[in-house]
Structure 1
Amino acid sequence: MIHMNMRALAVVMALPLAACGSADSARYLIDAPAPTGAETRVSVRSVELRDVSLPSHASGAEILVREEGGALRPLGDAVWADDPERAVTGTLAQLLDDRSTATVSAEPWPLLDGPSARLDVRIDKMLASVSGVFEITGQAAVSAVDGRPRERVERFAISVPIAEISAAAVTEAQGRALVALSDELIGLLR
């Protein structure tokens, strides 16, 4: 009897997991194109990137698109392959490290010697639209540990075109938008 109740409990607990996604769902990485060009010189030697804050429409597993009337709808059965907050934080840390002269790591800072600066990125909107645009808006704050760079908070608004409304095209546009955002963040570290 107890054995039967445990099986029933296991089935009931597995139902919400089964509803989260289909085995047929296509999974897409949050990634950016490989860096090209020289590193940009910045005024700090090391930067800790705090966990990037995403709005709920961008932090879920489903890839959403804004329709003409403003409604957000899933893009077919396409889902992100990783937790979006973790993936965006990791991608931005890698871009900042590759594209600037600073050593950049996502929090927690992994070395005994602390970072020279901390960077806090809060995204308000990260969304594709059926009008053919991918947008990222929000604010970034730089806090100095060594007295440089100048501490400040600045807003950003990134907009890149999308070739078509498909999961692959949205993913590619998001990568280009993250590269553009990394360039703006590097400007804050100069």
Structure 2
Amino acid sequence: MIDLTFSALANRDTARTRLTRCAVVILLAVLPLACSSKPPAKVYLLEPVFDLQAEVPAANIQALGLAVVTLPGYATDQRIASRGERARILLDDDHEWADSPDEAITRVLAHRLQDFADADVLIEPWPRGYDPEARIEVVFDRLLREPTGGAEMAGQIRIIAGDGRRVLGVKRFQFIRYANSQDPSAYFESVAMGINDVARMITAELRGS
């Protein structure tokens, strides 16, 4: 004769033991994640800035097309890239661009180029019927936060005829916009100032083309 009461109690104790073990396993799996969590990265918006440097005369052009700028691979990451020792590049997990860096730089460049060149500036792809007199390409070789907190920038400007059949000008640029603060916001201000410099160079090239 089987003792059904004892069998039921044994099964219930076994089930409780299994549940307890499962709970312990889940707790051990979740605990490291909770301990390793950290505050989300701070994000920064790149915006146009106006400086006191003398403006270049406007180009005699009414309509410009601007290609999305090209960045080196490391600079397409939304984390701020800084120059380290021995040619190392460091990516900051705590401070990031609010937008995709190439799109943010293109947007600000279009804004400032419109002011400097006194022309309509549309970013590709532009609408049907828009007939730019020149197409601007900017290819960055370098975009890094330098030790003072400023921006190190280098690359090439290419000015192409609106119909795409002629290269009107090619100009290299390389400079550092220093900052007076290590705060990440100073880096973005330095980048915006550097974009002003690039926009001035483009306008000067357009006047000479």
- Counterpart of 1:98? 115
Match status 1:30 vs 2:36: no
**1:185 and 2:209 matched:** no
Amino acid at match of 2:57: T
- Paired position in structure 1 for 2:20: none
Percent identity, aligned pairs only, is 28
Paired amino acid for 2:40: D
Matched, 1:66 2:83: yes
Query: Partner of 1:16 in structure 2?
Result: none
What does the per-residue CA deviation read over 1:44-103, in whole Å, with 9 as the maximum and x for residues that have no partner?
Answer: 211000111011121111012112433221335001100111111111011101222211
1:98-124 deviation digits (Å, cap 9, x = unpaired): 222211111112351311110111111
Query: Given the two structures, how large is their TM-score scaled by the length of structure 1?
Result: 0.78
Consecutive unaligned residues in structure 2, runs of 5 or more: 1-37
- Superposed CA RMSD in Å reads 2.6
After TM superposition, the structure 1 stretch with the greater mean CA deviation from structure 2, 113-122 or 158-167, is 158-167
Where in structure 2 are the equivalents of 1:137-152 lying within 5 Å? 137-145=154-162, 151-152=168-169
Task: From the two aligned structures, give the one with the greater helix fraction.
Answer: 2
> Contact 2:55/2:200 (CA < 8 Å) preserved in 1?
no
Q: Tell me the distance in 2 between the aligned counterparts of 1:142 and 1:189.
A: 8
Contiguous gaps of at least 5 residues in structure 1: 1-21
**Equivalences, count:** 169
Output the amino acid matched with 1:69.
Answer: R
- What secondary structure sits across from 2:70 in the alignment? coil
Map of 2:131 onto structure 1: 114
Q: For the structure 1 residues 74 and 164, does the alpha-carbon distance in structure 2 shift closer, same or farther, using more than 3 Å as the test?
A: farther
State the 1:24 CA deviation: 2.2
Query: Which residue of 1 is the match for residue 7 of structure 2?
Result: none
Aligned residue type for 1:55: P
Q: TM-score, normalised by structure 2?
A: 0.72
Do 1:49 and 1:93's aligned partners in 2 also have CA atoms closer than 8 Å?
yes
> What residue is the counterpart of 1:87 in the other structure?
104
Q: For residue 195 of structure 2, give the secondary structure of its aligned residue in structure 1.
A: helix
CA contact (8 A) 1:35 1:95 kept: no
Please tell me whether Structure 1 or Structure 2 has the larger radius of gyration of its CA atoms. 2
Counterpart secondary structure, 2:104 = helix
Letter in 2 for 1:138: G
